[in-house]
Amino acid sequence: MSRNNDTSSEEEEEEEDLEDFGLTMISIAGPSEHDCGYCKGKDTSISFGIWAHSMTCSDYQDLIDRGWRRSGKYLYKPDLEKSCCPQYTIRLDTNRFNTTKSQKKIIHKFNRYIKGTWDPDPKVKPTIATTSSDTPVNKPSNYVQVKSLRDLIHEPEDTSQESKYKLEIELEPASFTKEKFALYAKYQVSVHHDKEEDISEGGFKRFLVDSPMKLEKHDTSNVQFGSFHQKYTVDGKLIALAVIDILPKCVSSVYFLYDPDYSFLGLGKYSVFREISLVQEFSEKVDTLQHYYMGYYIDSCPKMNYKGQYQPSDLLDPIDYTWHPIQDFKAKFDQGASFVTFTDPVPSRSYPPGWVDPASITEDDLEKVFVMVGQGRIAPVTCIVKFETSAKFKKTIVDYVCSVGLELAHKIIIC
């Protein structure tokens, strides 16, 4: 159910009042077909969408665990069976993550640059004396020095050690600044080859600043849930920005952008380790928060399947929403399958995978779905005249309920 353009300011104030109670409020966008950004297919990416005016962090957690994803305040659930490039939700168990030798090299290179013991220009001599951690020395054959990921990540922030550059990593609620927008514009033009005239402050805000989630404090710790920006600053200059959602069970990566002048640092890969480390720190304070969600995994797309390099990772089954090791999925992908499920037997159906069967939705189920009717009041959708008079409207409601599931549909308010 789309939001009317002539919604009065009085009605908007009523919505804001309800939002203050911590309710999730959405408008239904419905099904969509659009061009694929990966294989460039025409109208081959199929999804179902909603606009979230407000959303609790726990409701969004439940949605991404059903295959949903957000772009600003727009949430969408891809149809993995009909889309050209099926998008599988991927997550990493950070408490079981171990860096490989090649992954450690990325972190060490970044650290050495900050310390001043390495520079991409071979003509530039190190300004800081090489330390024992930078130069291999003869050690007994049974000597083992183990540094945790968190130790490695925070090494260049150690102010007791002399460094060429001052590195500052700051986590703050998502917000707009001219500096962030300038970095975004430079990144989009240089890396994604966007046209300058197509980049605007409004577009940046809608994509990477706006969020339906308000900050929520965890009950027993100082951890806050919500949408955040993690700023990477070197000598006072913003060189990278991570957009993340901190949720009750995970940190979800939304987007990452960096100054192309610093591409030699491999900041895209480095940011993954920085965010994994962040989850590990949070998990000591919030028992349930131990996973790192990297968005979607697309096996056929190199720009998306690199995420499988971080282990141990699981993919979400698109039908029953259970998690399975990525290796199990890969075995089927490598045999030529694009749509993979471990649900057995696979139900015969005419609706998207993972949806509740529309034929199973009863009148009692729909009576528990609420809509806003004005003057700060909500009512069952079955009480709306349009529900009885418009078959199209009723189908839209049923499709929405089937896409989010009954439990969420009975908690969320439709505007």
Class of domain 94-122+148-307: alpha beta
Phi and psi for 171 in degrees, rounded to 5?
-100, 125
Structure tokens at 415: 């505007």
Structure tokens at 363: 């009148």
**pLDDT in the model for residue 394:** 96
**pLDDT in the model for residue 126:** 76
Q: What is the residue-wise DSSP string for 93-137? A: EGGG----HHHHHHHHHHHHHHHTS--SSTTSPPSSPPPTTTS--
Is there a contact between 308 and 324 (Cβ–Cβ < 8 Å)?
no
The domains of the chain are located at 94-122+148-307
**pLDDT in the model for residue 104:** 96
Question: For residues 415 and 81, what is the distance between their CA atoms, to the nearest angstrom?
Answer: 30
Query: Along the 415 residues of the chain, how does pLDDT read in single tens digits?
Result: 544 444 444 445 545 555 555 689 999 999 999 999 888 899 999 999 999 999 999 999 999 999 999 999 999 999 999 999 999 999 999 999 999 999 999 999 999 999 999 999 887 877 765 554 554 445 455 434 468 999 999 999 988 889 999 999 999 999 999 999 999 999 999 999 999 999 999 999 999 999 999 999 999 899 999 999 999 999 999 999 999 999 999 999 999 999 999 999 999 999 999 999 999 999 999 999 999 999 999 999 998 999 999 999 999 999 999 999 999 999 999 999 999 999 988 888 999 999 999 999 999 999 999 999 887 789 999 999 999 999 999 999 999 999 999 999 999 999 9
pTM recorded for the entire structure: 0.91
**pLDDT in the model for residue 37:** 87
Reference 28, options 407, 395, 406, 411; nearest CA is 395
β-strand 291-297 against 250-258: which pairing, if any? parallel
173: left (phi over 0), alpha (psi -120 to 50) or beta: beta
**pLDDT in the model for residue 365:** 97
Q: In what order do the strands lie in the sheet with 413-414?
A: 69-71, 74-78, 45-54, 25-34, 413-414, 370-374, 377-380
- Tally the C-alpha atoms within 13 A of residue 377's C-alpha that lie toward its C-beta: 8
Structure tokens at 116: 């001043």
